[in-house]
Amino acid sequence: MAIETTGTILDKIVAARRVTVEHRKRVLPLVALRMAVEKGKPLPVRDFAAALGRPGVSVIAEVKKASPSRGLLRADYVPDWLAQRLDLSGASAISVLTEEEFFQGALEHLRLVRPVTSVPLLRKDFVFDPWQVWESRAAGADSFLLIAAILDEALLAELISLGRTLGMEPLVEVHTRAELDRALAAGAMIVGVNNRDLRDFSVRLETSIELIEAIPEDRIAVTESGLRSSVEIARLAEAGFDAFLVGEQLMVAEDPGAALRALLGREAN
């Protein structure tokens, strides 16, 4: 089992994440983390898969302060206020960026968002160690992101299985047909096609169109990144996608709730 390398900035992000995770593991060993989850009173798991599979347009609204491609997105970043606003505006789930160095996130943001929202929470990070899955559950996440580009099939399958053991069905992200094949072979049930190439951050909505036919109908298909209008969402829904992950379009809007309602084709209040 291994972390895959890409020879790009993605490797730099993952390398930095490994240093952080190793430090956290020394502070809070896995045995103690597991005990906190198993012996404590963890928050009930909200059903992420069910939230995305309901009729109509399902949007995973993402809260994040910054990104490597665009820098600072929102100076007045208050994750709990933003998440609550998006929840009330029709989000089916909320994605919370928790990576510190490149996205200016924090695990604490997830803990702040949990009590003020009613929909499932996705932990958006670079997950490659079982310890991080336990950490996600302890922090109140209902699902977590797995990036196929950085995980070999064996590790991907292990992390998917652990997530299910803890009641969390992960979102497995792919960008190419090879990654999609690996994700399906590992047992992914929620497949996200990232229109942004994490190797150079270029965005092509056609990536989703090209891959949707290869996603089995019994899987939940999510399209991610670059979605800016209800027209684009309608086009991708017609192509076969069940859910839509939108972040930057909402974070740069003066009123993220109104921006989400516009994407959903609803009138702003």
pLDDT tens-digit series, residues 186-228: 999 999 999 988 777 788 899 999 999 999 999 999 999 888 8
**pLDDT > 70: what percent of the chain?**
96
Residue 231 resides in a domain = yes
Q: Is 195 a catalytic residue?
A: no
**pLDDT > 90: what percent of the chain?**
81
Residue 169 resides in a domain = yes
Per-residue pLDDT, 68: 87
Classify residue 104 as left (phi > 0), alpha (psi -120 to 50) or beta: left
- Is residue 154 packed enough to be buried (19+ CB in 10 Å), middle (13-18) or exposed (0-12)? exposed
Residue 5 resides in a domain = no
Q: Is 224 a catalytic residue?
A: yes
CATH number of the domain residue 123 falls in: 3.20.20.70
Q: Is 210 a catalytic residue?
A: no
**pLDDT band for position 8 (50/70/90)?**
confident
Q: Is 41 a catalytic residue?
A: no
Residue 54 resides in a domain = yes
Per-residue pLDDT, 202: 82
Per-residue pLDDT, 30: 95
Residue 3 resides in a domain = no
Annotated catalytic residue, options 67, 194, 195, 208: 194
Residue 268 resides in a domain = no
Of residues 236, 171, 180, 183, the one with CA closest to residue 205: 236
What is the H or E stretch that residue 145 is in? Answer: strand 143-147
Classify residue 194 as left (phi > 0), alpha (psi -120 to 50) or beta: beta
The lowest-confidence range among 36-45, 49-58, 162-171, 249-258 is 36-45
Domain count, the chain: 1
* DSSP, residue by residue, 76-118: T--HHHHHHHHHHTT-SEEEEE--STTT---HHHHHHHGGG--
Per-residue pLDDT, 6: 61
* Cα–Cα distance, 191 to 205 (Å, whole number): 16
The DSSP bridge partners found for residue 124 are: 97
Residue 1 resides in a domain = no
Residue 30 resides in a domain = yes
Residue 5, pLDDT > 80, answer no
Q: Is 58 a catalytic residue?
A: no
* Cα–Cα distance, 115 to 37 (Å, whole number): 18
Annotated catalytic residue, options 169, 173, 179, 248: 173
Average pLDDT, the chain: 93
**Structural domain that includes position 176:** 10-39+47-263
Residue 1, pLDDT > 70, answer no
What is the H or E stretch that residue 127 is in? Answer: none
Give mean pLDDT, residues 138-155. Answer: 96
Annotated catalytic residue, options 124, 136, 143, 169: 124
Q: Is 62 a catalytic residue?
A: yes
pLDDT tens-digit series, residues 12-67: 999 999 999 999 999 999 999 999 898 877 789 999 999 998 888 999 999 999 99
| Three-class DSSP category at 75 | coil
Residue 180, pLDDT > 90, answer yes
**pLDDT band for position 269 (50/70/90)?**
very low
Annotated catalytic residue, options 4, 62, 99, 135: 62
Q: Is 169 a catalytic residue?
A: no
Per-residue pLDDT, 135: 97
Annotated catalytic residue, options 64, 95, 136, 208: 64
